[in-house]
Amino acid sequence: MGMINMNNILIFDKKDMEYNIDKDTNIYHFSINSSSNILINIVKEGVTLNYYYNNINYDDNSFNLNIKHMVSNTYSNVFNHGVNVCSNKLKYKVDSIVLKDSYKCKCIQDSKIINLGDGNSTIWPNLLIENYDVVAEHAAYIGKFNDSDLFYLMSRGISKNSAYKLLLKGFLVNNDIEGIDDFIREIDRMEV
């Protein structure tokens, strides 16, 4: 475990990680059919953490994320997007933790899982707040893509399979990030 000295971190298929964040940081975490346990400690005042987790799931897997606000005036924005492809289980457990002596923190969680098959997905968005001077919000969605989005793309002559792939890329690839070619190829290989 060490101090992070970068603004942007790119992670692929890591099982267990622990980081101390001491400057504004964006973490882009991509996973194909794996489970992860992540612990992130925000250890310096005024720091913002943006965490983007994107996964494609074929088997029973779980993602556990703990973000601890160890000091005051810290901010965490957590965006978890997953696609459960088959009839399997995908579980997200996301804990935002603000300690008693940490004031004026902000914790935002947004977790979404798209089920392409008959999978069983679960999201536990936990806000474990020991201080009243905190802003904490969470949102969770489990379901399918909007039928009207699929209809619109298909009405423009795009096949159903290609329409799904376009929606998957828009859902799972947050920004123009270099180095995620294997992840994009996995989306292209999918038969929906």
pLDDT digit string, tens, across residues 28-40:
999 999 999 999 9
Confidence of residue 12 (pLDDT cuts 50, 70, 90): confident
In the block, tokens 């001077």 appear at 133
Instruction: Pull the structure tokens for residue 121.
Output: 């997905």
Residue 115's φ and ψ, nearest 5 degrees, are -95, 115
- The model carries a pTM of 0.91
